[in-house]
Amino acid sequence: MSKQSRIDLAHPSLFVDLYELTMARAYVAEGMNESAVFELFFRELPPTRNYVLACGHTDVLDFLENLRFEDSALEYLRSRKDFPEEFLDYLSRFRFSGDVYAVPEGTVVFPHEPVIQIHAPLTEAQIIETYVLNQIHFQSVVASKAARIVTAAQGRPIIDFASRRAHGTDAALKVARASYLAGFTGTSNVLAGKTYGIPLYGTMAHSYVQAHDDEKEALRRFASLYPNTTLLIDTYDTLDGLRKVIEVVRDLGPGHRPSAVRLDSGDLAELARQSRAMLDQAGLNEVKIFASSDLDEVAIARLLDGGAPVDGFGVGTNLAVSRDAPYLDFVYKLVEYAGQPRFKLSSRKILLPGRKQVFRRERDGLIEGDTLAHHSEALEGKALLARVMRDGRRTGTAAPSLEKIREWVRAQLEALPSEIRALEKHAAGYPVKISRALEAEHDRLRASIEMAGR
């Protein structure tokens, strides 16, 4: 492998923006390394979202536990001549020693609510900014998109087909993980299956049929090798391909019946109706219809609302890039330093001061409103932020399994009011209010800043 193409992110100590290192050097030089609190949150929901599913915590905690500046990283920084040896020596001994508070991975969150809260010496908390943002942002974007697709599918299986259109190999793996947590049935990506234990699905592409001189013979050979497989029928003509599947089943006998046929082009609703009629007439009532082809939650909902007899879906591009909402405005902001609250008054980027807690109220199994509060308050509802890391090590004996997080996500989505879980934008939105104490602290600090400027 050439030097130009070799990228090692096993211990990504250099996965930082340069300003994190330049600030860190300044902090060290100035002796500014008292305890700081940073909060990661987003300010606004995209126009097509009513909620965000917070995801990526496991990768963040793994990173913090293992972060080291390796010799090769230090040599690179030394070669730039931006940093003195005293600072490089500090980095050589760098270990994250702080505490982390977070909402459980897979929790539904809303604007301004902290997803992760970092308590650490200022330099440590600053250096980790880019990686924490990168992991939480991307996986939350994908998980939120996937959750909407799960809602649209109404309990039908959905498979992640996104790898080939994802923005890089790491992104493809994170798409598989985040979509599985959100309720997808599995993935086509074999490495994701090995890495995360996600169920694998996949059978054949059009190229398999094209490689044979005869479509029926291709279908027969594949069905002979893989009983109960899914056969792709639209390489040339969808309904003609289905007729050949029916003939192959009759030739091979009941032991080689496919579990499903796949539609990947054309008018999926009409083709599904005609295919269902043909399968039932042939006595293949148990053979299901699986659809793919540029699907998203809107297309799936349209199919099912129109009565299309589709039993499962494969979703790729629209999941991989979250086409309708490809980013969230997540930020990572200092809210406390040396025991004193910090805030900012930038236009349209107001930052509420101090450590916070989110209290969520429920009634009859549904969530009905949140309060964003000062961390010292005890208000009605369940406190969402809990300590997940102490002194640089995870609390508890192990991270929750994918299946545990998946169960939590299912419960979170079921607890959403129907108008918030819906695909359509809810004009009023989910109610999040700011506590009186937090508002008073903000007003006090603002007044002090204004007085100092006179």
Which residues of the chain carry a pLDDT beneath 50? Answer: 1-8
Contacts of 129 (CB under 8 A, 6+ apart): 16, 17, 20, 38, 332
* Separation CA 409–CA 250 (nearest Å): 43
Instruction: Tell me which residue of 73, 103, 89 sits closest to 12, measured CA to CA.
Output: 73
Pairing of strands 99-102, 108-109: unpaired
Q: Give the model's pLDDT for residue 351.
A: 87
Rg of the chain over Cα atoms, rounded to whole angstroms, equals 26
Pairing of strands 35-42, 330-337: antiparallel
Amino acid at 137: H
* Separation CA 274–CA 262 (nearest Å): 13
Report the 10 Å Cβ neighbour count for 155. Answer: 8
Pairing of strands 312-315, 158-160: parallel
* Separation CA 433–CA 436 (nearest Å): 9
* Separation CA 133–CA 152 (nearest Å): 29
Q: Give the model's pLDDT for residue 454.
A: 54
